[in-house]
């Protein structure tokens, strides 16, 4: 197996708020186990470089905005996604411990919420962007005048288009070799209300948004400080949210119309 020089560990068990609330044990166990086993296998095989993906869900519930990497340890994650976030943060500890004891070249990247074509659009487990796209496209094509949206709409998020994320991971793999975790994002924050209205407009939905305020918002705000990624491996996202959403919506419509 020594002909493998680099391992980029992208696999994860993930889902939206409802999925996290339903399967917290699964999300903790699966994510910590697959990461720990792969890191140990890489050590045994003497892999030259290991890239471990973290998550913005590891940040504390109330974190100064924009989130800087040092804030990862300033508190406990937001309750609805804490098991997933803690599992990923444990892999940061393991990565740094293996670097210290075994001299492994392991880097740890912390992406913000990702989206794009080929995302998971299953409403039982999807994240907010694919869920909203599916709801609005379905409403338009079936003539529905109302779409129900979880929460109050007041929470904010930051989103990174999948192609930009791939470029960031590649740049970090090629150029970054330090123990400190690095945020990957755009540095742009949007409320869920603004996001829903934007997706409604892009899909052509003219009806009413019904906010299910009894449902949880999740973490109150999310927006990353992205200066370290720019400094260390010159990464800056190229795709603005509107263009990324348009590409994602068009992909989903093509898939939707095949069924």
193-211 pLDDT tens trace: 999 999 999 999 999 999 9
Residue 109 lies in a domain: yes
> pLDDT of 56-81, one tens digit each?
999 999 999 999 999 999 999 999 99
Residue 97 lies in a domain: yes
Out of 59-63, 81-85, 142-146, 255-259, least confident range? 255-259
Residue 39 lies in a domain: yes
pLDDT band for position 192 (50/70/90)? Answer: very high
Using the predicted structure, report yes or no on whether residue 259 has a pLDDT greater than 70: no
Q: Is 117 exposed, middle or buried (0-12, 13-18, 19+ CB in 10 A)?
A: middle
Report the CATH number at residue 186. Answer: 3.40.50.720
Position 2 scores a pLDDT of 60
Which two three-digit tokens encode residue 27?
A: 């999300």
Residue 1 lies in a domain: no
Residue 136 lies in a domain: yes
Most distant CA pair in the chain, distance:
61
Residue 241 lies in a domain: yes
Domain that holds residue 44: 6-258
Residue 19 lies in a domain: yes
Count of structural domains, the chain:
1
Q: Which residues are catalytic?
A: 84
Residue 225 lies in a domain: yes
Run of H or E residues at 102: helix 82-102
């Amino acid at each position: 197996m020594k002909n493998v020089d680099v391992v980029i560990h992208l696999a994860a068990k993930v889902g939206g708020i409802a999925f996290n609330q339903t399967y917290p044990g699964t999300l903790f166990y699966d994510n910590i186990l697959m990461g720990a086993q792969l890191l140990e296998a890489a050590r045994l095989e003497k892999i030259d470089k290991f890239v471990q993906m973290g998550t913005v869900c590891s940040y504390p519930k109330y974190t100064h905005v924009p989130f800087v990497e040092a804030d990862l340890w300033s508190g406990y994650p937001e309750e609805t996604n804490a098991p997933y976030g803690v599992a990923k943060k444990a892999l940061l500890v393991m990565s740094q411990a293996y670097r210290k004891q075994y001299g492994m070249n392991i880097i740890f990247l912390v992406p913000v919420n990702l989206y794009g074509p080929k995302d998971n659009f299953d409403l039982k487990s999807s994240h907010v962007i694919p869920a909203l796209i599916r709801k609005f496209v379905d409403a338009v094509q079936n003539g529905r005048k109302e779409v129900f949206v979880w929460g109050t709409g007041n929470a904010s998020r930051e989103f990174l288009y999948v192609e930009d994320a791939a470029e960031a991971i590649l740049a970090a793999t090629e150029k970054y070799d330090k123990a400190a975790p690095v945020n990957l994002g755009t540095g742009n924050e949007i409320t869920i209300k603004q996001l829903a209205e934007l997706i409604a407009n892009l899909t052509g939905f003219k009806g009413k948004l019904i906010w299910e305020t009894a449902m949880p918002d999740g973490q109150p705000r999310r927006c990353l400080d992205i200066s370290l990624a720019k400094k260390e491996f010159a990464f800056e996202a190229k795709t603005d949210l509107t263009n990324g959403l348009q590409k994602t919506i068009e992909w989903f419509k093509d898939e939707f119309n095949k069924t």
